[in-house]
Amino acid sequence: MAGLLLVGCSDAPAPSAPVVPSRGVVVSSPPELTTPASVTTVQPDGSGGVLRYVALGDSYTIGVGVKPRDRWPNQLARVLRPDVSLDVTANLALNGNTTTDVIRRQLPQLEALDPQFVSLLVGVNDVIRGVSESSYRTNVGTILDAVLRSVPADRVLTVATPDYTLTPHGGDFADPADPSPDIARQSATIARFNDILKEESKARGITFVDISPVSDQVPQDPALLTLDELHPSGKQYAGWVELIAPVIRPLFGAYP
């Protein structure tokens, strides 16, 4: 993010009233799955092969503070094997990117990559920079419509933004134009932007996954964060994948 999601933030107290998830999710360590050499993945068209996966978004997708293999797109590709074979052809996400940045910097690269599966997670930097709900909605629509010119709706995934205000350093970030930053208001805006992403995805037949049952556990489990106490750790990303994989697996007709 522009101010958010930079390593080495100043100390800030943890939220006094953490949100406790209503659903229990057991978060495992990052999976170490590999595809047996003898297995041939069969795609929906009946052919064997690998689907080119391109990820769009911000620091939550590029994985600030974790090794590339522990980013959630990479973990997702491993978990789906051998039923679905995804190759993370490109992770175009960038730290600090907003929806406007995705439009200007990432979408121009998408078509040339000839993707067969695309994911989008973006919004937290829009919250920090005070982008209006209407502008966020317009930008999300622009991004999704552009993606749909490259792949069909059943080959697109959108993912909710985690609530950074629950992290020890979440209170360090606010709209620079706001003279009295309110963590509760920021949290509510994240939730509203997630609703918008879900609504715009649903309107286009695109699958949306809410990862908050895992990310909201941060106040109870410090291991869900990297050393900067702000970004998701590989363990947290593994929990996201546990929620995402069963939802998108049917899109490929890939049940064993």
When pLDDT is averaged across residues 169-196 and rounded to a whole number, the result is 80
pLDDT number for residue 174: 58
Tell me 233's DSSP state.
Answer: P
d(C-alpha 220, C-alpha 222), whole Å: 7
Looking at the chain, the whole-number percentage of residues with pLDDT higher than 70 is: 77
User: Per-residue pLDDT for 49 more than 70?
Assistant: yes
Q: What ranges in the chain are assigned the alpha helix state H? A: 59-62, 72-80, 99-101, 107-110, 124-128, 133-148, 183-203, 212-215, 234-248
From the CA atom positions of the chain, what is the Rg in Å?
Answer: 18
The owner of tokens 């940045």 is 101
CB 223 within 8 A of CB 229: no
Average pLDDT of every residue of the chain:
82
Q: Measured between alpha carbons, how far apart are the two ends of the chain, in Å?
A: 39
pLDDT number for residue 54: 98
pLDDT number for residue 173: 66
d(C-alpha 78, C-alpha 14), whole Å: 34
* Topology at the third CATH level for domain 51-252: Rossmann fold (3.40.50)
Cβ-Cβ contacts under 8 Å for 95 (sequence gap 6 or more): 1, 5, 6, 58, 59, 62, 64
pLDDT in tens, 200-252: 999 999 999 999 999 999 999 999 999 999 999 999 999 999 999 999 999 98
User: Per-residue pLDDT for 25 more than 50?
Assistant: no
User: What is the length of the chain?
Assistant: 256
Higher pLDDT residue, 139 or 7?
139
User: Per-residue pLDDT for 111 more than 80?
Assistant: yes
The owner of tokens 């080495």 is 8
- Order of all β-strands in the sheet with 117-121: 86-91, 51-57, 117-121, 156-159, 207-209
Identify the three-state secondary structure at position 67: coil
What are the backbone dihedrals phi and psi of residue 158, each rounded to the nearest 5 degrees, phi first?
Answer: -115, 145
The amino acid occupying position 152 is P
When pLDDT is averaged across residues 58-84 and rounded to a whole number, the result is 96
Q: Judge residue 180's burial from the number of C-beta atoms within 10 Å of its C-beta, 0-12 exposed, 13-18 middle, 19 or more buried.
A: exposed
Looking at the chain, the whole-number percentage of residues with pLDDT higher than 90 is: 71
